[in-house]
Amino acid sequence: MLSEVISAAYLALWISSCAFASAEDPFMTRALQLMSETPLIDGHNDLPWQLLKQFNNELNKVDLNTLETTHTNIPKIKKGRLGAQFWSAYVPCETQYKDAVRQTLEQIDVVHRLCQKYPETFMFATSSQDIMEAFHMNKTASLIGVEGGHSLDSSLGTLRAMYHLGVRYLTLTHSCNTPWADNWLVDTGSEPSQHNGLSPFGKQIIVEMNRLGMLIDLAHVTEAVMNQVLDMSEAPVIFSHSSAYSICPHKRNVPDDVLTKVKAKGGIVMVNFYNDYVTCSKTANISNVADHFDHIKKVAGAEIIGFGGDYDGVTRLPEGLEDVSKVPKVVAELLRRGWTDEETKAALGNNLLKVLREAEKVRDNLKGKSPDDVPIPFNEVKTSCRTSYGYRNAGAVHSLGTLALVLTLALQALIT
């Protein structure tokens, strides 16, 4: 009996302490309220990569309820009020020209299996409607983004197959050039440009992604690619995990002139929490992260901002943001800085929902358009690991396809 009384006393003390803490920080109270009304949608989380590195994707050996070697587990997700997550299907650049497609398919499979293993927590999602349905069911909507164009092996057919498997964005490059696009390291001078941005086939990729309704992710690309895509894409684009270059001049971040173009296109920049992109140093804090939100809002408005923490894909995180459970602290900090409820809800998830809906609208408007089946020229992808099946007379066909693409883009420019 005495033990029951003691337990009840401890419970009462815990409840009162929580109430006191809540009363002590009205901004956190308001943050949690807003997060109960609008889903927090995060643009990039590398948990699938950690499951490959640590467990070789053997999910039967993993319990996400108790896993402590990652930034992300189910208790942390619940505490962090994570409404929707784009899980990254990432494989390293070393897989390019080798087994990139297989490895990426296995990472896509991992996301599907996570949803199957933990149906009470995750709901697989492929649309804006799915996100809201999961949110109303108190589940985390689970979407897939493929991080790196090398995962396609320069194949439009592979792009379409991945879309059918649920992939809803493609990061055009990671940290290596593909046979059709330059990566961000080119802007640092550490790698040469191969395409001055996008090759003709790279532009085919953009057009086909618009037709499919797959979001184009410009994190990890050169400024030339950013501008080319912003000029030609019919749908809004995203930066799934990048911050503001004016606050931290790292080439993975977004310059102000590009921010204004993202606004004009109706796109979104989802702020990365990696210290190196937040402060350009090894240390950072919550206030430093909020500085990026403030700057992007000042330059292009609150309507282009989102969250792209990059948890489980980075080695250094700001003090106070060590795992996904801590994200509400950023929301509270924005409110503390005078962000309105509407602006905060926009950054939480409404902006991403708007972008996704617009991409879906573009897809629906293009539903009468045939899939592009003109392959990349064989000489642009020829390696000892690649066969030439299907390439008979393909060079001449591709020349016509490229000419048609150039004419189409010229026509679009004249119309706009």
pLDDT in tens, 99-124: 999 999 999 999 999 999 999 999 99
Homologous superfamily (CATH) of 24-373 is Metal-dependent hydrolases (3.20.20.140)
Contacts of 46 (CB under 8 A, 6+ apart): 88, 90, 310, 311, 312, 313
**What radius of gyration, in Å, describes the C-alpha atoms of the chain?**
22
Residue 171 has pLDDT above 80, yes or no: yes
Catalytic residue among 42, 44, 358, 398: 44
Which run of H or of E encompasses 144?
A: strand 140-147
How does pLDDT run across 180-233, given as a tens digit for each residue?
999 999 999 999 999 999 999 999 999 999 999 999 999 999 999 999 999 999
How does pLDDT run across 223-269, given as a tens digit for each residue?
999 999 999 999 999 999 999 999 999 999 999 999 999 999 999 99
Number of residues written out for the chain: 416
Residue 49 has pLDDT above 60, yes or no: yes
Catalytic residue among 46, 291, 303, 312: 46
Which ranges of 233-285 does DSSP label H, i.e. alpha helix? 256-265, 275-278
Q: How far apart are the first and last CA of the chain?
A: 78
Tell me the backbone φ, ψ of residue 107, rounded to 5 degrees. -70, -35
Q: Is 295 a catalytic residue?
A: no
Q: Is 60 exposed, middle or buried (0-12, 13-18, 19+ CB in 10 A)?
A: exposed
Cβ 325 vs Cβ 75: under 8 Å: yes
Task: Give the separation between CA 305 and CA 131, rounded to whole angstroms.
Answer: 18
Q: Is 46 a catalytic residue?
A: yes
Q: Is 99 a catalytic residue?
A: no
Confidence at residue 312, expressed as pLDDT on a 0 to 100 scale = 98
Residue 11: other Cβ atoms inside 10 A: 10
Catalytic residue among 153, 310, 323, 358: 310
Confidence of residue 43 (pLDDT cuts 50, 70, 90): very high
How does pLDDT run across 323-369, given as a tens digit for each residue?
999 999 999 999 999 999 999 999 999 999 999 999 999 999 999 99
For 337, the 3-state DSSP assignment is coil
Cβ 142 vs Cβ 114: under 8 Å: yes
The residue with tokens 């509270």 is 332
- Tell me, rounded to whole angstroms, the distance of Cα 234 from its chain centroid: 19
Tell me the backbone φ, ψ of residue 379, rounded to 5 degrees. -70, -15
Chain mean pLDDT for the chain: 92
Q: Is 241 a catalytic residue?
A: yes
Cβ 283 vs Cβ 19: under 8 Å: no
Catalytic residue among 42, 71, 130, 147: 147
Task: Give the separation between CA 298 and CA 241, rounded to whole angstroms.
Answer: 19
Cβ 168 vs Cβ 126: under 8 Å: yes
Catalytic residue among 150, 220, 250, 292: 220
Q: Enumerate long-range contacts of 361-366, CB under 8 Å, 24 or more apart.
A: 362/210, 362/213, 362/234, 362/235, 363/210, 363/211, 363/212, 363/213, 363/235, 364/213, 366/210, 366/211, 366/234
- pTM here is 0.90
Catalytic residue among 150, 241, 292, 295: 241
Parse the chain into domains and list their residue ranges: 24-373
Q: Which residues on neighbouring strands pair with residue 391, listed in sequence order?
A: none
Catalytic residue among 42, 130, 150, 174: 174
Confidence at residue 73, expressed as pLDDT on a 0 to 100 scale = 98
